[in-house]
């Protein structure tokens, strides 16, 4: 399988072109030298990772001074990043069509990252409703979230069906070379199912609310069952071929994504069902708690495995790559999942787990954001 986009180590190629006076004087690369032909859908992971820091702040079962204000700043940063990246991708898709076509149709290692754009839209949309409403007002926040959720959900369904279709019919892939990035396309519907219930109270009572809630349950089923099908394939690839490159080791964290997101989703669905589906509500909350406890246990176990493997790879000289953003969003979904468990069960252990995971998420975001900024400024990412 070909290598992932932007996984290569941050080393300037030999024989690189002449640097400008600005570059020679400062050691930095001007933004005008960025090569958007290299821009792939994996860059949306930076928006996802930033938005989940904001959403995690809103979900935490503790209210520390300044936490919501910090969340608002991170939401604004994620929304700005989404706008900038969407504009850059539009340039990429119009001016570099062959490169874009190759990323989707000819390179399975980059095609799976098409699961990132819908998740970025959904995460920023939820943050707009949870945090942005204090900044732009409730009405505009609901409207913007509705648009982002609708577009993101449609995008997620297209990707969840389209990328597996390409893998079956076109991409040269082998189950013995599977890795956790294969989960990205099918996790997107789970994200939609977790974000959609927040819009339910803002719809007219009756059929509109019920339709959205049932739709979110369907999205939950799509994402969960597709994940259950793919996880054995992913583990087969890991056991057979190991992690193919040190810079891919952070991708092990992606296994946490469907675990934490499904726990978050089932709790959000249970909350939304109380006023909308009162006959089912008494069953949904106990189901959510039992499912959440069991899956959170698996997530904590896998977190230990992923952390150990990445510390080992780091000691062996693992270079920075855009895969480091895998440290963020999957851990963030575990934050929101543990927060939901703490809210519903009242058990202090889940509160402590949510806070500890959020601190880990903050440290991971600093590592990924710092590495990305340094890579762009020093011409090691997207440089001509």
In a domain, 6, yes or no: no
Give, in degrees to the nearest 5, the angle at Cα 102 between 99 and 105.
150
pTM of the model: 0.90
Categorize the per-residue pLDDT at 357 as very low, low, confident or very high, splitting at 50, 70 and 90. very high
The CB-side HSE value for 203 (13 A sphere, CA atoms) comes to: 19
Model pLDDT for residues 91-120, shown as the tens digit of each residue = 888 888 898 889 899 899 999 999 999 999
Question: Which SS3 state, helix, strand or coil, does residue 346 take?
Answer: coil
Which of 7-21, 177-191, 193-207, 295-309 is predicted with the least confidence, judged by mean pLDDT? 7-21
Tell me if residue 34 falls in helix, strand or coil.
Answer: strand
Residue 347 lies in a domain: yes
What percent of the chain clears pLDDT 70, i.e. is strictly above it? Answer: 90
- Say which CATH number the domain at 115 has: 1.50.10.150
Structure tokens at 238: 């890991």
**Would you call 10 exposed, middle or buried from its count of C-beta atoms within 10 A (0-12, 13-18, 19+)?**
middle
The DSSP output letter for 137 is -
Average pLDDT over residues 337-364: 97
CA distances for 91 relative to 39, 79, 116, 292, 332, angstroms: 10, 19, 18, 42, 30
Query: Residue 77 pLDDT > 90, yes or no?
Result: yes
Residue 278 has what pLDDT? 86
User: Residue 15: pLDDT band by 50, 70, 90 thresholds?
Assistant: very low
Distance CA 371, CA 205 (A): 47
- From CA 264, how far away is CA 296, in angstroms rounded? 10
pLDDT at 381: 85
| pLDDT tens, position by position, 195-230 | 999 999 999 999 999 999 999 999 999 999 999 999
What total number of domains does the chain contain? 1
Residue 18 placed within a domain: no
Enclosing domain of residue 184: 28-377
SS3 383: strand
Stretch 244-270: mean pLDDT, rounded?
94
User: Which tokens in the block code for residue 37?
Assistant: 């032909």
Does any domain span residue 190?
yes
Query: Is 153 among the domain residues?
Result: yes
Q: For residue 1, what pLDDT is reported?
A: 36
Q: Which band of pLDDT confidence, cut at 50, 70 and 90, is reported for residue 5?
A: very low
Q: Are 328 and 46 in contact (CB under 8 A)?
A: no
The pLDDT confidence band at residue 3, using thresholds 50, 70 and 90, is very low
77, 125, 278, 303, 365 from 54: Cα distances, Å: 9, 11, 31, 21, 11
The pLDDT-based confidence of 378 (bands split at 50, 70, 90) is: confident
| pLDDT over 50 at 19, yes or no | no
Average pLDDT, integer, range 57-69: 94
Q: 116: which 2 tokens?
A: 């990132």
Contacts of residue 150, Cβ cutoff 8 Å, sequence gap at least 6: none
Q: Is residue 5 part of a domain?
A: no
pLDDT higher at 326 or 26:
326
**Tens digit of each residue's pLDDT (9 = 90 or more) over 306-317:** 999 999 999 988
The confidence band for 376, taking pLDDT boundaries of 50, 70 and 90, is confident
- Give the Cα separation of 75 and 123 in Å (integer): 9
Classify residue 225: in a domain, yes or no.
yes
Answer for the pair 361, 53: CB distance below 8 angstroms, yes or no.
Answer: yes
12 versus 343: which is more confidently predicted?
A: 343
Q: What is the mean pLDDT of the chain?
A: 89
Count of Cβ atoms closer than 10 Å to residue 137 Cβ: 11
Query: Residue 364: which region, alpha, beta or left (left: phi > 0; alpha: psi -120 to 50)?
Result: alpha
Tell whether 108 is covered by a domain.
yes
pLDDT over 70 (residue 382): yes
Distance of CA 377 to the CA centre of its chain: 24
């Amino acid at each position: 399988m070909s290598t992932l986009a932007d996984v290569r180590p941050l080393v300037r190629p030999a024989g690189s072109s002449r640097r400008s006076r600005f570059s020679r004087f400062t050691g930095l690369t001007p933004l005008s030298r960025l090569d958007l032909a290299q821009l792939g859908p994996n860059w949306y992971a930076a928006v996802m990772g930033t938005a989940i820091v904001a959403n995690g702040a809103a979900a935490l079962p503790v209210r520390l001074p300044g936490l919501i204000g910090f969340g608002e700043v991170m939401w604004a940063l994620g929304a700005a990043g989404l706008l900038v990246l969407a504009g850059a991708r539009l340039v990429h898709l119009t001016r570099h069509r062959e490169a874009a076509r190759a990323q989707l149709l000819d390179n399975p290692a980059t095609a799976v990252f098409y699961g990132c754009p819908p998740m970025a839209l959904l995460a920023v949309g939820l943050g707009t409703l949870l945090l942005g409403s204090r900044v732009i007002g409730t009405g505009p926040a609901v409207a913007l979230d509705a648009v982002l959720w609708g577009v993101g959900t449609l995008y997620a369904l297209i990707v969840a069906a389209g990328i597996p279709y390409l893998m079956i019919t076109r991409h040269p892939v082998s189950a013995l070379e599977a890795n956790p990035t294969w989960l990205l396309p099918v996790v997107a519907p789970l994200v939609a199912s977790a974000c959609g219930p927040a819009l339910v109270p803002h719809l007219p009572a009756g059929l509109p609310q019920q339709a959205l809630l049932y739709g979110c349950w369907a999205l939950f089923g799509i994402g969960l069952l597709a994940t259950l099908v793919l996880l054995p394939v992913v583990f087969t690839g890991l056991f057979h071929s190991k992690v193919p490159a040190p810079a891919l080791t952070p991708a092990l964290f992606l296994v946490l994504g469907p675990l934490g997101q499904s726990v978050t989703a089932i709790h959000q669905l249970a909350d939304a069902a109380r006023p909308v589906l009162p006959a089912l509500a008494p069953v949904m909350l106990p189901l959510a708690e039992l499912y959440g406890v069991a899956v959170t246990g698996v997530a904590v176990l896998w977190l230990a495995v992923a952390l150990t493997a990445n510390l080992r790879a780091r000691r062996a000289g693992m270079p920075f790559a855009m895969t480091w953003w895998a440290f963020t969003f999957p851990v963030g979904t575990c934050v929101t999942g543990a927060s939901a468990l703490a809210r519903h069960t009242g058990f202090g252990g889940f509160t402590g787990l949510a806070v500890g995971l959020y601190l880990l998420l903050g440290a991971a975001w600093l590592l990924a954001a710092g590495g990305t900024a340094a890579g762009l400024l020093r011409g090691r990412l997207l440089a001509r």
